[in-house]
Structure 1
Amino acid sequence: MFSFKFIAVGIALMAGNAQAATLVDVLDLPAQHSELALRSPLLDLAQAGQRTVAVGQRGHILYSDDQGQSWNQASVPVSSDLNAVQFPTDKQGWAVGHDGVVLHSSDGGASWEKQLDGRQLGRLMQDYYSARPDAGQWLEEGKRIEAEGADKPFLDLWFSDERTGFVVGAFNLIFRTLDGGKSWEPWTDRTDNPSGYHLNAISSDGEHLYIAGEQGLLLRLDGGAERFQALESPYQGSFFGISAQPGMVLAYGLRGHAYRSTDVGASWTAVKTGLNSSITASTRDAHGTLYLFGQTGQALASSDQGANFQPLNIGQPVPVYGALASSDNGLLLVGARGISQRPVVSGKQE
């Protein structure tokens, strides 16, 4: 997605004179409250207890306490585009996005504080790797990132609880916290990703933690070694998402490709989706049904842990970037046109 690095803010000078403008970094500019936020591009959804939270462009964060019937806009300290959100508890949640932004909420998504941004990443890496005589490559990488500025996005995140989590992003950006985001430790040297491919998605089955990325990159965390180790990939195109549950992990992405593993990534089987467009989102409902969504609006459902998918009719096709299954057998979807609610109906879209 396009990231607005700077926003021009008009300043009136004198009556009859031309307007001047000063550039304000989006990292210092709070998200603007707008009635149009509900229909602006939104990129991800998460459940915070009974509350639903959506994030998107220009720092917009919305929350609903009635399953998406009505929405409020949260107080957000930045205007950076936000790519992903997760709540490991009802109240404690995190969101990540462009410009290296990491945000934290302690009230279920109603208000947010900035914990990290791209202006800090390079310095954090230098401070961490300067203490290691064998980490010259990563020390230089930290210097380069600091020199280039806050232009690299975080694309996804995963927290096991309110203290421990990872944020991942472009060019092998990966940081871990063990104290709820008060401090962050780079893991750039702990991924089998020598080409520096983008880390697009991260997901856990409750026991194993996986990362999917650019050029077919698939990684699994070795907890003992504290390292994300490469898995043999079945596909050389990019994966945009990964959905893990006990006994199964599904990686999906470019041109409708999806691959399934039932042996923690040791082997993979191609899944027939019937899609030619990229798969951009997934969700599971309370009954275990797995849903996939295509870039051009197609929807699929699987009741056998991703072994087989059937088409869904969700009405007028719209690009879907994030999805949640609601408790009333429906779907909450976010995309380029904001939020929509769709019923679940088996059968092809008309």
Structure 2
Amino acid sequence: MCSYKNCLQLALGVVLGVLHGVTHAADYVDVLDLPAQVSALAINSPLSGMARAGERVIAVGQRGHILFSDDAGKHWQQAAVPVSADLTAVNFPTTIQGWAVGNDGVVLHSSDAGATWQKQLDGRQIGALLVKHYTALASAEPGNEQWPLLVAEGQRLVEQGADKPLLDVWFANDKTGYVVGVFNLILRTDDGGQTWTPFQDRTANPQGFHLNAIASTGDALYIAGEQGLLLKWDDHSQRFAAVPTPYQGSFFGVLGKPGEVLVYGLRGNVLRSSDGGHNWTALNSGLHVSVTAGLIDARGNYRLFTLGGQMLVSRGTGAQLHLVQKPARTQVSAAIQSAAGALVVAGNRGAQTLAVDPALEP
């Protein structure tokens, strides 16, 4: 047993600890309600997504940081952002209208080329959206067993709160677009993000795998996910249909041109199809490190980037990859080519502009 003095000290310690916790709880502000802090170090903090808005380059990342550069990545300014949740991806279908997504189901919109942002949606609303949407469908089709399951999924999201990340965003124009995320989370808007429609019933993803990336090749819209999941939008069925692939590991990105698509992911795996995904060829990257970002440059060449900072280049058709042996000083999670032709990459050490050595180009 403790002495009277020790017991008293212990009791006082407990009380003070509780009061301390109450004070901190009172001071707590959800990251969805806390604006991103302006920091001179933001450009050197982890960044995970990039896009172009006309000649402007935009990068998004940790703690709600959004930065933009008007001189091909030489100098950066920090945007005004209403949340401090980590951001994962950004897309600009026009020179001024853009969307960014991230953790806690957050969706942000900019109408001034990324200088300022407004929150359109977050994870506190998404579960209720699912419940309302699929409850209506269950009432209209009482015999359809799918709707009660999706209602229950929405109820779980409501109970669990805003903890489900959105991983990518793609817009066809300033009205129609998609956001995708973990556990088959997918929503579509046709009014620029004013309203969102759940699309869980429109994906051939019964196991609920994560949806890691969404991108258009010019004539097709693809979603890449974990465990070999690849989906393609089918106009006839108005669904994202499954596209079989010979690799069962996770895909992190999709890249392509009309008539051609590349998907890339874990352990250096890159697959190419020139017939709409009916047949695939595995490309030899010569690497065993994940391929995490890609772009098609101004000359029409594919450029893929890895967690190790390496760059793979494929001239023209994408049928053959060449390793450029001069890696970036950062793990690369996103890449873009500026209007001036500079390659700008983002990763765990922020953003940097790559100096391309013509002697190393294929």
Q: Does 1:53 align with 2:65?
A: no
Give the corresponding residue for 1:193.
205
Measure the CA separation in 2 of the matches of 1:346 and 1:298: 16
Q: Does 1:177 align with 2:177?
A: no
Measure the CA separation in 2 of the matches of 1:328 and 1:79: 31
Q: Does 1:286 align with 2:291?
A: no
Measured after TM superposition, the shift of residue 328 of structure 1 is 4.3
Give the corresponding residue for 1:14.
none
Give the corresponding residue for 2:255.
243
Measure the CA separation in 2 of the matches of 1:161 and 1:329: 24
Report SS of the residue matched to 2:28: strand
Deviations 1:100-150 (A, max 9, x none): 010000000000000000001110000100111231111111001111111
Please list, as runs of the form range in 1=range in 2, the aligned pairs for 1:149-160 lying within 5 A after superposition.
149-160=161-172
Measured after TM superposition, the shift of residue 326 of structure 1 is 2.8
Contact 2:219 2:259 in 1 (8 A): no
Contact 2:269 2:291 in 1 (8 A): yes
Matching residue within 65, 69, 79 for 2:70: 65
Q: Which has the larger radius of gyration?
A: 2
Please list, as runs of the form range in 1=range in 2, the aligned pairs for 1:19-38 lying within 5 A after superposition.
20-21=23-24, 22-38=27-43
Contact 1:329 1:343 in 2 (8 A): no
Contact 1:46 1:87 in 2 (8 A): yes
Q: Percent identity?
A: 54
Contact 1:313 1:347 in 2 (8 A): no
Give the corresponding residue for 2:150.
138
Contact 2:61 2:88 in 1 (8 A): yes
Measure the CA separation in 2 of the matches of 1:347 and 1:281: 23
Structure 1 residues 347, 99: CA separation in 2 closer, same or farther (over 3 Å shift)?
farther
Give the corresponding residue for 2:45.
40
Measure the CA separation in 2 of the matches of 1:244 and 1:181: 26
Measure the CA separation in 2 of the matches of 1:346 and 1:280: 23
Give the corresponding residue for 1:331.
343
Q: Does 1:79 align with 2:84?
A: yes
Structure 1 residues 315, 241: CA separation in 2 closer, same or farther (over 3 Å shift)?
closer
Measure the CA separation in 1 of the matches of 2:341 and 2:220: 29
Measured after TM superposition, the shift of residue 210 of structure 1 is 0.4
Amino acid at match of 1:322: A
Please list, as runs of the form range in 1=range in 2, the aligned pairs for 1:339-350 lying within 5 A after superposition.
339-345=351-357
The number of residues matched between the two structures is: 333
Normalised by the size of structure 1, how large is the TM-score? 0.92
Structure 1 residues 129, 316: CA separation in 2 closer, same or farther (over 3 Å shift)?
closer
Measured after TM superposition, the shift of residue 316 of structure 1 is 4.7
Contact 2:99 2:109 in 1 (8 A): yes
Amino acid at match of 1:144: R
Deviations 1:247-306 (A, max 9, x none): 111110000001011111111110110111100110111110110111111111111322
Give the corresponding residue for 1:94.
99
Give the corresponding residue for 1:298.
310
Q: Return the structure number with greater strand share.
A: 1
Q: Return the structure number with greater helix share.
A: 2
Give the corresponding residue for 2:113.
108
Amino acid at match of 1:26: V
Deviations 1:50-69 (A, max 9, x none): 11111000000001111112
Measure the CA separation in 2 of the matches of 1:128 and 1:84: 26
Contact 1:313 1:344 in 2 (8 A): no
Give the corresponding residue for 2:277.
265
Q: Does 1:318 align with 2:330?
A: yes
Unaligned runs of 5+ in 2: 1-19, 139-143
Contact 1:314 1:343 in 2 (8 A): no
Measured after TM superposition, the shift of residue 314 of structure 1 is 4.0
**Is 220-229 or 73-82 further displaced after alignment?**
220-229
Matching residue within 229, 237, 260 for 1:225: 237
Measure the CA separation in 2 of the matches of 1:316 and 1:219: 31
Measure the CA separation in 1 of the matches of 2:277 and 2:158: 35
Larger RCO: 1 or 2 (CA < 8 Å, sep 6+): 2
Normalised by the size of structure 2, how large is the TM-score? 0.89
Unaligned runs of 5+ in 1: 1-17
Give the corresponding residue for 1:4.
none
Give the corresponding residue for 1:253.
265
Measured after TM superposition, the shift of residue 312 of structure 1 is 1.7
